[in-house]
Amino acid sequence: MYTLYREQYVTAMPSSAWDLLKNPANLDRITPPDLQFQIVSPVPQEMFNGLIIEYRIKIPWFGERTWVAEIKHIKEMHSFVDEQRLGPYAFWYHYHQIEQEDRHVRLIDRVYYQVPYGIAGKILHFFFIRKTLERIFDYRKIKLEEFLTGGNQGCVPENPDAGE
């Protein structure tokens, strides 16, 4: 099992962050364009527990993949989970959290995942998968800054205790 942990601070109200994240269609806005992310199932303007979202994503060197995720464990204005039901990972559990801290909002992403293909998957993770995920979340950080604060935010380094 691997863990990817990211947090960042934005100068925004928690309600603004929640409004952005609660709309599943906004996932496209915070995903790097080269992944050609496309939601293929109808989605509401606001997520709900049990919402199933199907989308396609182009993974470099692996081609287009279908990914089906379930939204669950929603705590209004605080947190939610998207969990892969079908997709490129053996396991994917992504916890999103929003916390008010002084004049800032802290956005936390904690992803627990397993790669398929046994030892070959571990090698792919070392050389490719981990770097790709980091690039995706780096892009996401930039876009969240842009949408929530217009670029005015402070960043906290990755959790050194999280990892493999």
Residue 102 pLDDT grade (very low, low, confident, very high; cuts 50, 70, 90): confident
Residue 58 has pLDDT above 60, yes or no: yes
φ, ψ for residue 18, nearest 5 deg: -65, -40
pLDDT band per the 50, 70, 90 thresholds, residue 59: confident
Give me the pLDDT at residue 154, please: 38
Provide mean pLDDT across the span 38-66.
Answer: 93
Looking at the predicted structure, is the pLDDT value of residue 150 above 70? no
Average pLDDT over residues 11-20: 94
- Domains of the chain listed by start with CATH number: 2-155 (3.30.530.20)
Per-position DSSP letters for the chain, written without gaps between them: -EEEEEEEEESS-HHHHHHHHT-GGGGGGGS-GGG--EE-S---SS--TT-EEEEEEEETTTEEEEEEEEEEEEETTTEEEEEEEESSSSEEEEEEEEEEETTEEEEEEEEEEE-SSHHHHHHHIIIIIHHHHHHHHHHHHHHHHHHHHTT-EEE----TT---
Predicted TM-score of the model (pTM): 0.87
pLDDT at 161: 40
